[in-house]
Amino acid sequence: MDTATVPLPSGVFTIGKTFGFEAGHRLAALPPDHKCSRQHGHSYQVEVVLTGPLLEGPGFVTDFGALAPFKEFLDTELDHRNLHEILPVEPTSEHLAQFLAGWFTENLQPTISGRLVAVLVRETESSWARFDVGEGQ
């Protein structure tokens, strides 16, 4: 097969990168008998999803290396901390995903070529929350 004749359809490119950190929290708004109202911790996995209609040379939505400041933020500000002492809202996975999307769009988005589409926060292997960023962000 001559691969030079394969048509390249139009569309949008999407990439994702996963980062991890360890943190504790409690959800004080829950009744005292709810297990999540007590202090506990998670090995969080955070995935950022970016998109772009065009690729930057040599063919990236965003160079994965350009996402290093996000990892640095997770490591310095959230890793091995109590999230209920840091986040301005109840530290659910949903709120954490929204908070991280806000940090990303404010601090990293202006310096990279791709656009943040979503942040997914996984607190266990089977439980996750996703925040989808609005078009205007």
Which pLDDT belongs to residue 137? Answer: 59
Rounded CA-CA distance 12/60 in Å is 12
Please state whether beta strands 13-25 and 128-132 pair in parallel, antiparallel, or not at all (unpaired): unpaired
Q: What phi and psi values does residue 72 have, to the nearest 5 degrees?
A: -60, -40
Would you say the C-alpha torsion 5, 51, 22, 33 has a positive or negative sign?
A: negative
All domains of the chain in start order, with CATH: 9-132 (3.30.479.10)
Q: Could you read off the pLDDT of 93-134 as tens digits, one per residue?
A: 999 999 999 999 999 999 999 999 999 999 999 999 999 999
Q: For residue 25, which phi and psi values (nearest 5 degrees)?
A: -170, 170
Residues catalogued as catalytic: 36, 80, 123
> Over the chain, what is the mean pLDDT?
94
Of the two residues 50 and 135, the one the predictor is more confident about is 50
- pLDDT at 72 (0 to 100): 98
Which residue do the tokens 């656009």 mark?
Answer: 115
CB 111 within 8 A of CB 52: no
pLDDT band of 86, cuts 50, 70, 90: very high
Q: Judging by beta carbons within 10 Å of its beta carbon (0-12, 13-18, 19+), is residue 46 exposed, middle or buried? A: buried
Residue 135: is its pLDDT beyond 80?
A: no
- What's the pLDDT at 112? 95
